[in-house]
Amino acid sequence: MLDRLLAIVALAVLIGFLSIIVIWVPRIDLGAVILITVIMAVYDMAFHAHRPPSS
């Protein structure tokens, strides 16, 4: 449970940091790269980060 909470907090910090960059440097190509980065981070957190332990 704590690992999922920490993953959500880390994702929120990442999105917050990257949104500051997009606000201060308003470029379309930079926004596209940051959007792809956020999508990949959300995908990783949702589908790969919380697998049950294998024995």
Determine what percent of the chain is predicted with pLDDT higher than 70.
Answer: 87
The pLDDT of residue 52: 67
The pLDDT of residue 4: 84
Mean pLDDT of 16-35: 95
The pLDDT of residue 53: 62
Determine what percent of the chain is predicted with pLDDT higher than 90.
Answer: 64
Residue 22 scores a pLDDT above 90:
yes
Mean pLDDT of the chain: 89
* DSSP H/E element including 21: helix 2-24
